[in-house]
Structure formats: structure tokens, C-alpha cells
Structure 1
Amino acid sequence: MKKKNLYNRLLVAVCVFIIWGTNSSTSQNLSKFIEVKGIVVDASNNDHLVFTDLVIKGTNISTVTNIDGEFLLKVPIEYSEGAVVITHLGYETKEIDITYFKGTTKIELIPAVTTLDAVNLLARPVNAKDLVLQTLQKKGRLYNNDNTLMTAFYRETIKKRRKNASLSEAVVKIHKQPYTNYRKDNIELIKARKNTNYDRLDTLALKLQGGPFSNLYTDLVKYPEYIFTEEDIDDYEFSFGESTNIDKKLVYVVNFKQSSFINYPLYYGKLYIDAATLALTNAVYSLNVENRHLASQMFVRKKPRKVDVYPTKANYRVNYRIQNGKWHYAYSNILLSFKVNWKGKLFNSIYTLNSEMAVTDWEITNTKFAKIENQMLRPSTILTDQASGFSDPEFWGEYNIIEPEKSIENAISKIKKQLKKT
């Protein structure tokens, strides 16, 4: 077994650190921005569209829809006469004037029909693996190669079965290195808040180790070594799926999975590659967790002797966005599910851990990044140890965040009540 590769993947897999047992205010000028909110649905069947991109036209200010298809975008007042561009993989792009938004606006996207004509069929590469290799080699030309300071919103939740047990949120600054640079990105903590009342939520204390870094390392273009190393790319099988499109541009779909003779955990999923430039636009993939013992080694860092913990699901997603002809990391989501079996107990526990990070604004900087040591996070960071409570209603000020799903809103409301009681 390739132990070195297996443990290198610990970072992208999101390390889980299990501990068993038991306010700052802002003075933001709210007149500097307006809020537009709504819900994005499929025009043909009214299904909520998750992970839809919304960008203020001509800017880098953006957000994504939540699990309910909902969004809230804070628009600086100088762009109040502008427009919002809405894009979703496999749908026609829509542009809506900001003045059109009244209350919660329903936005319907039309599914885009993709047909491969004879020219496209002839132009498509014959070998799917070669296409993936070409894509990974083009990062120097297709992706942003300047020092970039990104503002991002990060959220992580832990559920015991269907009940929210922990919730943490943060605004961070990503000190993004050029894609041709082998230096790793840095993350600076700006604001953070959390629920810490584990006992009152009647659950074991689970903590995610890695925090925003785990989501950042899903950037396959910057960090291909966590998925496809030169050593093990031959352990995968690649094939073409049905093509789709983004903004009327043809997108190849490449399926990948580990070869049948491989017995240690690798990944399987889909890569979405722009046909014209061969840029990776999206990736949706999962870890093979059939081998419980080896999969457990990749996640669990600490546990009691009398308990078995193993993952039942490990799903990942990363989206890229193009601006001024260059692609950059825009959003990622990680969903993990674990089963906990105590020896001697009849019933087991199931925990779901979800983390997501969305870039909401960014700027090119020509100067070297200044390291603010007391605010810089480490890849071993546990965000819940860095955050405070949920007591400040105007905590985020003008920062864009991902709208919370309904169940999370209920959890926040419950947390606030508990904080008031204590």
C-alpha cells in the first residue's frame, strides 16, 4: 500500500479530531450597501438549484446559493444600478438588474440543451486520461498567476443524525499564491463565531481539524497531489460522460474511478473541462470508503479504545470562476458521514460533518503578503477553538456570507436562547 500517498490525502480528506466527553461588536455603516435576496430554481420543474454562482457584473463581488437554493448578496451602493449575473452548470446564464430585486425574488434558470455536432465530436480528445493530464498542465496559462487576496466565507456544521450539534462560521482572507508557484496558500482569520454548548445539545464533542484549509486544498489545479499524483494517476480509469455547458460554452465531462485491482482508498467522480481552453471549471468527487479500516485511518485522529469509528460517506466539490479571461478558485464543499459504534451498546450513532467555503471578493496585489502572526491560521487549526459566540446580530457587517439553510437558522436561534439563559 502506498502509505505516503494515503496520508498525504489526510488534508484534503478533512482530518477529524474527536474529543469524547462532555463578543465582539462592529460599527459598520449599513448605508454603504444594499441587500438583494432571492431563490434560484429550475424553470422546468421548480427544483431548488444549489451552488449557483451570483456575481455583481464587472466586479469580483459574489456569493453562492445554499442547500435551499437561497441567496443574499450585499451590494456596495456604487453598484446599485448594476446587474447580477447568475450561472449554474448545465443552465443558461441569466443577467438581472439589481433594481429588479424586490423582497425575495424568484429566479428561474432554463436548462441548456447540449448537442454534440460532427465538428465537436471530431474535436473531442479520444483519450479521457490524456485530456485530464493536459488540463492539469495548463494551470500556468489559464489560471490567475498573480498574488491574490481573497475574502471568503467559511461555515462548518456537525449533525448527530438530523439534529444540528455544532455550528461555526468565519470570514477569512485567503493569501492565494500564483498557480505556477509551489508555495502553499495562507489563510488569515478576520471574524469567527460558533456554538460551543455541546452538553446542552446532548451530543459527543466532535471537532474538525483543518478548518478552511481542508476546503482550500480541494483546489485540484493548485493542489493536484492530493488526488492525482504522478505516481498513482495510472491507478485510475478515465472515461467520457455526457457533455454539458456553462454560459453556452461546451464542457466535457470526464468520469474517473480507481482501477479494480487497487485495494486502498482512492477517489471517484466527475471533472468538468471547458472544451475550448481545457480549463477545469468544476469537480465533484468522493472517496471510496468500502475499506473501513483504511478509510478510518485517513480521518480519525483520536478515539477511545472501546469505540469503532469509520466513514460511510466522503463527498467533495470545487467550483472555479472566470474573470478577465483567467480562472480562479471560487467555492468548495465537503460532506462527511461517520458511524460510531460503542462496544456493548445496542445502537450506533451517525454524525454528518459539512464544511463549505465561498470566495466573495478578491483583488490582485503586487506586494508580498504580510504575515499577521496572531491572525494566521495553520493547517492543523480547529476553528471552533478560534471563535466566539452568536450574540452579535450585526456581526458580519458588509461581508457577504452564504445564506444559512432553514435547519441551521433554527440551530442559531436555539444557540442564542441558550447564550441568553447563561
Structure 2
Amino acid sequence: MKKLIYSPVFLLFVLFLFGANTIIAQEDDTKEHFKEIEGKVIDAETNNDLIFADIVLENSNISTVSNSDGHFTLKIPKTYADGHIAISYLGYEKIVLPISDFEKHLKVKLKPVNTTLDVVQILTTPKKAEAVVLNCLSKKSSLYSNENTLMTAFYRETIKKRRKNASLSEAVVQIHKQPYNNVKSDYIELVKARKTTNYKRLDTIALKLQGGPFSNLYTDMIKYPEYIFTPETMPMYDFNFDKSTKINERIIYVINFKQKADITTPLFYGKLFIDAETYALTNAVYSLNVTNKVLSSEMFVRKKPRKADVYPIETAYRVNYRTKDGKWHYAYSNISLTFKVDWEGKLFNSTYTLNSEMAVTDWEIAESKLAKNRSQVLRPTTILTEKASGFSDPRFWGAYNIIEPEKSIQSAIKKIQKQLKRT
């Protein structure tokens, strides 16, 4: 239980701010060897944005996801200029489009799929949801990659005070993903990091997320089930079936889970999306029960001002997997943590939201060896903002895929630049 409660997924530092400099963002200008396409993914019936849709260059491992506005960009090596882009989203029909369709910003409309089960599917549906989850967790050796994999990934952290962005950190990392059938932990090598911060919006506090990319990597509950489902915690949950859905023409079981009413330790609740044929986990969306302020604060806050009470009021986690050649692998995860800061003697409190996301943008089977630059290997205790050195070396970023920033992040960077020019 202790490993669950104090897992690195939840490590957070709340520190005093003693002073810092704001860095100007620069534009990426490297386009020599890549073609960049962009678009927006929406529901064909409602025109609502589809967030976290998968965008994959066919016959390659190059990919990205749509952002919180449904937008995406994808840098494609010019050798793939005649290729196709596959766009998929849970509960919608997959669509494949030629790259030539993206000469201009393209609005991609996905149609919801019919999820009505036929008689055979109804008869073969398991009776106990918990049994499906246990079966899913037991498949790590057969359904997930058992080879050393080198993954290139894009990672982003943002901090908002109320609804306004105050800090942005981004990094390209290489994940040395260990085989799923062994107990070795993955390690992460930092390739490049950059940041920009408007500390005036943070007032007298600087929030720092400890763990950085590791926090997102540990949401891979197939590789790291000890952070959510263990033999000790499984009996503490209730599981039940929700309405099934589809992805890429495959039936997906949707299983709800939450802690039992008599359990007081903060545990999780949410949904698991499990392939009905193979029992592979395709997606998971979940949150932590933070109704107990004292216990949940102990799980997150490692340091804070003496005259402030800091506690989480909302958490949200998401992990997505992709499949290729019959093997599944970690593809994307998102973490959102919202905190209240109550100062002694002050009438009003402050609300801060920390969001981190990481997307695997390319990968390859690799030999088992240590990173070339050992000094760039991150630790689970790393604070990324202390590794980043401003929005510098813009040419470097041109060769890497990123998650398109949402409009509010883009506007925040522009406002910081304007403030600097005025001063």
C-alpha cells in the first residue's frame, strides 16, 4: 500500500519563489527535410472538437495527438510525401487520408460508430467485470512488446493560475522502454528542454512538478500496475460493465471502477477500455479520490510555505496505447492536477492547475544499452523546469514532432513577449 500512496505519479513540490528571469520564445525555422501538415479533428455530427485523437503516418512509427482544441500538426520526412495519414478516435470510424489532402489546414470529420452488440457477442461477454480486468493485467507478456524499445517522445508541462497560463516547459526525450515481460524500470534521456514563465502570475509561489516525464510514464499501468492495481488493492475496488464501444472496428469493453464505500484510503475511480478479443488495454481514464483533504495533501505536497494550506481539489489521468504488428505499446498520457492554496490571514485563496502530457512520436527496436550521454539521464526525482534553459536553439525543434499547443498557451507566450518589449 505504501508504494501505491507515495508513487512518483503524485510527487509535487510547492516552493517559495525567490526570483527568476523570463525567457522570450522563438519561432522554429527548420523545414528543409520535413513537410508539415496540420488539421483539426471534429465530430462529424456535432462539430465538437475531438481531443487526444491519434494521428499516425501509415507504414511508419511517426505519430502525434490532437490537442485540447482538436488541432494537430505533424512533421513528415519528405521521403513519405506520397504516404497516408490514419486518424482514429475511440468510438469513431477510423479515416485514412493521403498527405496531399493536407495542402491547407484540413478539418477532419470522424463519424461515431454503431456499438450495438450482435447475439454472439452478447453470449460471449464475460459475466464479471473484475475477471476481465485481471485477465487484461495478466497479458503483459503476450500482447505487449518484449523487446527493448527506444521511443522518441514530446513532453509538456503547464501551470495555470485560475484560467491563465503562467508557466510552460517542453522537452524532447528518449524513453528507453524495457520489455513488458521483465521487472526492469524504464529510463529517460533528456534530449532538449525549453521553458517560458510569467512569474508575476504566480505571485509569491512557484509550483514545481517533481518527476517530470516519469510521472506520465508511470501511468502505463500495464508496465507499472503497482501504482494502481495490486493484489492488495484489487479487493478494495468495485468493477462493473458500462456500454461497450469500438475502435478500428473492434469491440471494446468499457469497465467502470471505484473504491468500495468502506475504504477510507484515497484510491482511484474511472474507466478502463479493454479489447474484447485480446483483452489488451487500449485506453484508461481515471481520477484520484481527493475528498479527504489531509490524506490527499500528504500524497502530493512535499514542501510548502509554513502559513499556507495546500491540497488537491481535482485530479485527472489518461493513458492511451497503440498497436503495431500485433504488439501494443504506450503511446500517450495526460495528467491534470488542480490545487487550492489557502493563506493564513487572507480572505481569498488561489487555485493552480498543473498539466503534463507526453506523446510518443517515433520508436524503434533497440539494443539493450545505456544512453550515450549518461549525464542527460533523468531521475524520477527530476524537476524539469530546473533542467530547461529558455526557448533557445529554435532550429533544433524543427526535426521533432510536438503536440500542438492550445490557443491559451500560444497567447500566454505572446503576452510575455509583449511585456518584455514594454519593459
TM category (shorter chain) comes to: over 0.9
1:66 equivalent to 2:63? Answer no
After superposition, where does 1:372-383 map in structure 2 within 5 Å?
A: 372-383=373-384
- Percent identity, aligned pairs only, is 62
AA aligned to 1:105 is L
After superposition, where does 1:301-312 map in structure 2 within 5 Å?
A: 301-312=302-313
How far has the Cα of 1:21 moved from its partner? 3.0
Partner of 1:158: 159
How far has the Cα of 1:283 moved from its partner? 0.2
Identify which range, 359-368 or 274-283, moves more after superposition.
Answer: 359-368
Q: Residue 374 of structure 1: SS of its match in structure 2? A: helix
How far has the Cα of 1:218 moved from its partner? 0.1
After superposition, where does 1:194-273 map in structure 2 within 5 Å?
A: 194-199=195-200, 202=203, 204-273=205-274
1:103 equivalent to 2:90? Answer no
Partner of 1:117: 118
Q: Residues 254 and 270 of structure 1 are in contact (CA less than 8 Å); yes or no, is this contact kept in structure 2?
A: yes
AA aligned to 1:19 is L
Q: Residues 25 and 394 of structure 1 are in contact (CA less than 8 Å); yes or no, is this contact kept in structure 2?
A: no
1:335 equivalent to 2:336? Answer yes
Q: Residues 36 and 74 of structure 2 are in contact (CA less than 8 Å); yes or no, is this contact kept in structure 1?
A: yes
Gaps of 5+ in 1: none
Partner of 2:9: 12
What's the CA shift string for 1:131-152, capped at 9, x where partnerless? 1011000110101111000000
Q: Distance in 2 between matches of 1:54 and 1:381?
A: 30
TM-score after normalising by structure 1:
0.95
1:141–1:216 Cα change, 3 Å: same
Q: Residue 150 of structure 1: SS of its match in structure 2? A: strand
Q: Residue 49 of structure 1: SS of its match in structure 2? A: coil
After superposition, where does 1:330-369 map in structure 2 within 5 Å?
A: 330-369=331-370
1:217–1:5 Cα change, 3 Å: closer
Q: Distance in 2 between matches of 1:413 and 1:390?
A: 13
What's the CA shift string for 1:103-128, capped at 9, x where partnerless? 21100000011011111111111111
Q: Residues 390 and 412 of structure 1 are in contact (CA less than 8 Å); yes or no, is this contact kept in structure 2?
A: no
Q: Distance in 2 between matches of 1:208 and 1:276?
A: 38
Q: Distance in 1 between matches of 2:217 and 2:372?
A: 18
Partner of 2:17: 21
Partner of 2:192: 191
How far has the Cα of 1:394 moved from its partner? 3.5
How far has the Cα of 1:404 moved from its partner? 0.4
How far has the Cα of 1:204 moved from its partner? 2.0
How far has the Cα of 1:197 moved from its partner? 4.5
1:416–1:392 Cα change, 3 Å: farther
Q: Residues 28 and 398 of structure 1 are in contact (CA less than 8 Å); yes or no, is this contact kept in structure 2?
A: no
How far has the Cα of 1:30 moved from its partner? 2.4
Gaps of 5+ in 2: none
After superposition, where does 1:7-86 map in structure 2 within 5 Å?
A: 7=6, 9=7, 11-13=8-10, 15-22=11-18, 30-86=31-87
RMSD between superposed Cα atoms in Å:
1.9
What's the CA shift string for 1:17-55, capped at 9, x where partnerless? 011234999998622110010000000010000000000
Q: Residues 166 and 201 of structure 2 are in contact (CA less than 8 Å); yes or no, is this contact kept in structure 1?
A: no
Q: Distance in 1 between matches of 2:412 and 2:270?
A: 32
After superposition, where does 1:394-409 map in structure 2 within 5 Å?
A: 394-409=395-410
1:393–1:26 Cα change, 3 Å: closer
1:128 equivalent to 2:129? Answer yes
- Aligned residue pairs total 418
TM-score after normalising by structure 2:
0.95
What's the CA shift string for 1:183-208, capped at 9, x where partnerless? 11000001110024424764521111
